[in-house]
Amino acid sequence: MKRLFSVFLAAILLISLVACGGNNSGSSAVQPSQQPQDGTNAGNPAPSNATPANGTITFKVGHDAAETVPVAIGLAEFKRLVEERSNGQIVIEIYNNGTLGSASDYVVNCQLGTLDMGTVNQSVVSSFIPDLPAVDIPYIIESYEHADRVFLGDVGKHYAEEVREIMDIELIGIWEVGFRNLTNNKQPVNSVADVAGLRIRTMDNPVHQALWKGLGADPVPMAWGEAYTAMQQGAIDGQENPYSVILGNNVAEVNKHLAVTEHVYSSQFILMSRNAWNMLTEEQQKIIMDSCYEAGLYQRENQRMQAEEGLAKLKELGMEVTTPDKQGFIDASASIREEFGKEYAEVVAMIEAAK
């Protein structure tokens, strides 16, 4: 029943997307102007999962941020490993910058089989997996080392099983986005009190929204592709993301204040459609899984390196950086942890055990 409901939900979402936009932005049928951003020239690529006469299989993967961010760099490594280990029998085409639609589109289209692969923030997937919001509870993940034990351990296995059962999609890897920090263009944030009244772009995630409401801000759920213009026009005051995303998406051009809050650790789920997965032999499936795992380790290393360098670069770009007392934010969000900790007790217990 869970799987049937998830597919039904996907169909309803797709109908809504078509009704609202009337375009093919979420489909893996790429328009002539939509070129893969992996150094190849797709021209007019064949339909998703097409098997040309030479026996190769081409998979398209959608990513909604810039090609310079760590997830995109990880995808390039994933492409290299898969194509090398499959002797060119499997070709990966990477479409960054939301060329194939938004992260929500990727989920729906992977479920429907019209997109082969998509990289999706954990918060987007939480709309489908009932206990996934547990990992978005503020300050529940305390360090990079803790995050590795969570997502590369029992919690990651738990979610892989749920994605397969509930969404009928393969979760081939969980990569890192990093610890999220607050930016805005209104005022420096030196304490929790300075957050009050700020209009902050968030993902459509109940835990994130509860956090900012609890801190006195006005959370505004919004697709990432719309956030830059909204900040530029003053419709919202700011956003929250890891340094690499802030830097890679030119947030410093529209926000001048950055507060090191590290309030939520964020991960990226690498999804693969059932249609695409079932096209592969067991040996090829192993190549995909092993390559995604190894590319994920490479991506984590790159993300942490960019995080260290990113803060310095953001300062160079003119951002005013403040380091408010994190304990004040931890104390102010205690009720959020208590509320959602009870709701997601099983996963929270696994997260606590991984400390």
Does 319 reside within a domain?
A: yes
pLDDT at 312 over 60: yes
Residues near 288 by beta carbon (within 8 Å), at least 6 away in sequence: 82, 90, 172, 272, 277, 280
Residue 49: other Cβ atoms inside 10 A: 19
75 shares its domain with 167 = yes
Does 300 reside within a domain?
A: yes
Which domain range does residue 156 map to? 2-177+267-304
CA–CA separation, 183 and 199 (whole Å): 11
31 shares its domain with 136 = yes
pLDDT at 49: 52
101 shares its domain with 239 = no
Give SS3 for 172. Answer: strand
Task: Locate 305 and state its tokens.
Answer: 């390196």
pLDDT at 8: 46
Does 354 reside within a domain?
A: no
DSSP state of 301: H
Name which of 170, 181, 180 is nearest 120 in CA terms. 170
240 shares its domain with 317 = yes
Structure confidence by residue, pLDDT tens digits, 179-210: 999 999 999 999 999 999 999 999 888 999 99
pLDDT at 7 over 50: no
| pLDDT band at 177; cut points 50, 70, 90 | very high
Helices (H), the chain: 2-21, 70-85, 103-112, 122-125, 144-151, 154-162, 206-214, 224-233, 243-248, 274-278, 282-316, 326-332, 334-343, 345-353
Listed ranges 50-59, 65-74, 315-324; the one with the highest mean pLDDT: 315-324
Mean pLDDT of 8-15: 45
CA angle 255, 257, 260 (to 5 degrees): 120
Burial class (CB in 10 A: 0-12, 13-18, 19+), 29: middle
pLDDT at 58: 98
Listed ranges 23-27, 73-77, 102-106; the one with the highest mean pLDDT: 73-77
pLDDT at 41 over 90: no
137 shares its domain with 33 = yes
Does 355 reside within a domain?
A: no
pLDDT at 94: 98
Task: Locate 282 and state its tokens.
Answer: 């067991």
Q: Give the rounded distance of the alpha carbon of 353 from its chain centre.
A: 25
pLDDT at 46 over 90: no
CATH code at position 195? 3.40.190.170
Task: Locate 114 and state its tokens.
Answer: 């019209």
Q: Which residues of 147-179 are buried (b: 16+ CB within 10 A; e: fewer)?
A: bebbbbeebbebbbebbeebbbbbbbbbbbbbb
Does 9 reside within a domain?
A: yes
Q: Output the average pLDDT for the chain.
A: 87
CA 78 vs CA 85, 118, 170: distances in Å: 11, 13, 16
pLDDT at 248: 85
82 shares its domain with 130 = yes
228 shares its domain with 289 = no
pLDDT at 66: 86
186 shares its domain with 57 = no
234 shares its domain with 294 = no
258 shares its domain with 121 = no
First to last CA, the chain: 35
156 shares its domain with 106 = yes
The whole-model pTM stands at 0.80
Q: What is the DSSP annotation of 198-222?
A: -EEEE-S-HHHHHHHHHTT-EEEE-
Residues near 309 by beta carbon (within 8 Å), at least 6 away in sequence: none
215 shares its domain with 77 = no
CA 351 vs CA 75, 100, 206, 213, 276: distances in Å: 27, 34, 19, 25, 32
The domain total for the chain is 2
Q: What is the DSSP annotation of 63-128?
A: --S-TTSHHHHHHHHHHHHHHHHTTTSEEEEEE-TTTT--HHHHHHHHHHTS-SEEEEEHHHHTTT
